[in-house]
């Protein structure tokens, strides 16, 4: 059986020191702009060029262009909801690890989870990412399923994604049946030796169990899966190429790119034996990583969370990021508390802007803040999602759906941001080139004004 990660090939690619010519770099960027994805050799070529500053501006411009061709100017906003900080694993970089005696443990009841989700809904969020470690007591699959169903029944949350431990097919099927959209499992590090060192005890120590978790999820019926490597544990060049190899494996096997690629970077956490990243990633390297993911896997949502500082997140809007979180708390129950409790958090967040502040900022940059969830509702998922993006047709949906959700947001939630949102709505309506679609969007605006909600294409 073909291995997902060919470590020898990746090592060879990152050991190469020859500098590509400008012509080679521009040719690779042209291929990336076709939205079919680029392979490891081409990604490694762009990586070498970017690190040496060869055509770096062109690389960033191309990644911004690929993002626009894939999803237009919209930036999707979501919120994480941490269910528990109980865990049976011992990941050395995580505040929730089993042997950490400094963390203040807390797990949400079903009622707590509903309350937290309602608070997020009241600020305007429509999509939620439930995050759970691995704990048979506090985050069993049955419990996650119960919470997902309860949130759908008791709040207006429109789509719930889950980031959890690998699970057997029957449990994955139950999770899918509860209405979950995307199932995420991050490999953390694709480098086996580092993986073994970082995961000292618990089921997560099994590298292959984690590596094949997304195959299992897709076999169980999840069209959409999310992946990520935690930057800072090992050489980022290895992690990026390995993650792209993983994405290509899923595409070749299931005909769909991963739905999301998250780009987390190691942050300080309470009680961690790792005081600083063993392989630090600079902001400049981080930007290049985002660009490479975007160019290599154009249909994926590239996600940067509030781990990263505001200034960097703002820059990334122009070079390929398509989804961001806002106002996040990583301490379970945190949305009901006034202050962030670092001693109960998974890691320290850096960008503390609220949803409204993010919406206003995104709008001020010429991008389009979006609270859309339409693809999951109409079945534009998996292979169909990938094909829609590669035929350059997704933007046709992203634009009007972003406008519909922004219009709702202005009426129901906006305070100081209403003026700029209205300006953005007006400007973007005129960008809908299909007259029929424009008319249909304006008709839906009237329905929203009349009190209807949750309208989409
Ligand atoms: Fe548990 Fe996840 Fe933290 Fe590891 S990273 S200790 S699995 S919560
Ligand atoms: Fe995402 Fe689909 Fe909505 Fe575009 S139309 S923002 S891809 S859910």
What pLDDT score does 303 carry? 98
Residue 10 pLDDT exceeds 80: yes
Residue 68 pLDDT exceeds 70: yes
| DSSP states along 282-321 | -HHHHHHHHHHHHHH-TTSEEEE-TTS-HHHHHHHTTTT-
What pLDDT score does 387 carry? 97
Of 341, 321, 324, 322, nearest to 332 by C-alpha is: 341
Residue whose entry in the numeric block shows the structure tokens 């900022």: 361
Residue 125 pLDDT exceeds 80: yes
Cα 117 to middle of ligand 1, angstroms = 22
Does 349 contact ligand 1 (Cβ within 6 A)?
A: no
Does 87 contact ligand 1 (Cβ within 6 A)?
A: yes
| DSSP states along 107-175 | B--HHHHHHHHHHHHHHT--EEEEE----TTTS-HHHHHHHHHHHHHHS---EEEEE-----HHHHHHH
Residue 327 · residue 79 · CB < 8 Å = yes
Residue 319 · residue 325 · CB < 8 Å = no
- The ligand with the least distance to the CA atom of 199 is 1
Ligand 2, CB within 6 Å, residue ranges: 71, 74, 76, 370, 372-375, 394, 397-398, 401
Residue 313 Cα distances to 29, 37, 256, 292, 364, angstroms: 23, 24, 27, 16, 14
Residue 401 banded pLDDT, cuts 50, 70, 90: very high
Residue 204 pLDDT exceeds 70: yes
What pLDDT score does 1 carry? 62
Percent of the chain with pLDDT over 90: 93
**pLDDT tens digits for 247-293?**
999 999 999 999 999 999 998 888 888 989 999 999 999 999 999 99
Average pLDDT taken over every residue of the chain: 96
Q: How far apart are CA 8 and CA 19, in angstroms?
A: 21
**pLDDT tens digits for 280-312?**
999 999 999 999 999 999 999 999 999 999 999
Cα 277 to middle of ligand 1, angstroms = 17
Does 86 contact ligand 1 (Cβ within 6 A)?
A: no
Q: Helix or strand or coil: residue 379?
A: coil
For ligand 2, atom 7, the nearest C-alpha belongs to 398
| Ligand 1 atom nearest to CA at 95 | 3
What pLDDT score does 391 carry? 96
| DSSP label of 401 | H
Residue 2 banded pLDDT, cuts 50, 70, 90: confident
Q: How far apart are CA 347 and CA 217, in angstroms?
A: 27
**pLDDT tens digits for 342-359?**
777 777 789 999 999 999
Q: How far apart are CA 87 and CA 79, in angstroms?
A: 21
What pLDDT score does 35 carry? 96
DSSP tally for the chain: helices H, then strands E: 19, 9
- The ligand with the least distance to the CA atom of 165 is 1
Q: How far apart are CA 266 and CA 232, in angstroms?
A: 6
What pLDDT score does 83 carry? 97
Q: List beta partners, residue 227.
A: 261
Give me Rg for the CA atoms of the chain: 21
Residue 229 banded pLDDT, cuts 50, 70, 90: very high
| DSSP states along 123-138 | HT--EEEEE----TTT
Residue 362 pLDDT exceeds 80: yes
Domains of the chain listed by start with CATH number: 69-368 (3.20.20.70)
Q: Which helix (H) or strand (E) holds 281?
A: none
Query: Could you tell me the two tokens for 28?
Result: 């690779």
């Amino acid at each position: 059986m073909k291995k997902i990660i060919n470590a020898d090939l990746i090592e060879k690619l990152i050991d190469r020191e020859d500098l590509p010519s400008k012509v080679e770099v521009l040719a690779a960027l042209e291929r990336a702009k076709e939205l079919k994805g680029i392979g490891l050799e081409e990604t490694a070529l762009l990586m070498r060029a970017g690190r040496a500053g060869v055509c770096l501006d062109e690389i960033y411009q191309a990644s911004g262009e690929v993002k626009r061709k894939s999803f237009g100017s919209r930036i999707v906003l979501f919120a994480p909801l941490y269910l528990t900080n109980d865990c049976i694993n011992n990941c050395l970089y995580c505040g929730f690890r089993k042997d950490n005696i400094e963390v203040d443990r807390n797990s949400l009841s079903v009622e707590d989870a509903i309350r937290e989700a309602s608070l997020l809904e009241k600020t305007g969020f429509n999509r939620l990412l439930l995050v759970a470690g691995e704990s048979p007591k506090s985050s069993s699959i049955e419990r996650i399923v119960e919470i997902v169903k309860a949130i759908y029944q008791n709040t207006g949350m429109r789509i719930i994604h889950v980031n959890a431990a690998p699970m057997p097919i029957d449990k994955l099927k139950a999770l899918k049946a509860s209405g979950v959209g995307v199932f995420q499992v991050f490999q953390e590090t694709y480098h086996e030796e580092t993986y073994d060192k970082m995961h000292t005890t618990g089921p997560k120590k099994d590298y292959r169990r984690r590596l094949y978790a997304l195959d299992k999820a897709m076999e169980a019926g999840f069209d959409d899966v999310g992946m990520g490597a935690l930057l800072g544990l090992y050489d980022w060049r290895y992690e990026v190429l390995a993650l792209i190899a993983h994405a290509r494996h899923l595409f070749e096997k299931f005909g769909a790119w991963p739905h999301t690629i998250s780009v987390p970077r190691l942050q300080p956490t309470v009680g961690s034996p790792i005081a600083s990243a063993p392989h630090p990633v600079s902001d400049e390297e981080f930007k290049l990583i985002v660009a490479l993911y975007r160019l290599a896997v154009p249909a994926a949502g590239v996600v940067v969370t509030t781990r990263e500082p505001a200034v960097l997140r703002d820059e990334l809007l122009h070079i390929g990021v398509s989804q961001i979180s806002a106002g996040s708390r990583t301490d379970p129950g945190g949305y009901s508390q006034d202050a962030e409790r670092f001693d109960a958090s998974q890691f320290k967040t850096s960008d503390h802007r609220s949803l409204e502040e993010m919406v206003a900022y995104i709008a001020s940059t010429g991008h389009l803040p979006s609270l859309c969830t339409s693809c999951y509702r109409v079945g534009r998922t998996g292979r169909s999602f990938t094909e829609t993006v590669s035929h350059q047709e997704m933007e046709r949906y992203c634009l009007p759906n972003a406008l519909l959700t922004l219009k709702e947001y202005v009426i129901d939630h906006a305070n100081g941001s209403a003026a700029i949102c209205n300006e953005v709505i007006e400007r973007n309506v005129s960008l809908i080139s299909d007259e029929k679609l424009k008319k249909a969007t304006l008709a839906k605006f009237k329905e929203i004004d009349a009190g209807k909600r949750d309208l989409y294409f």
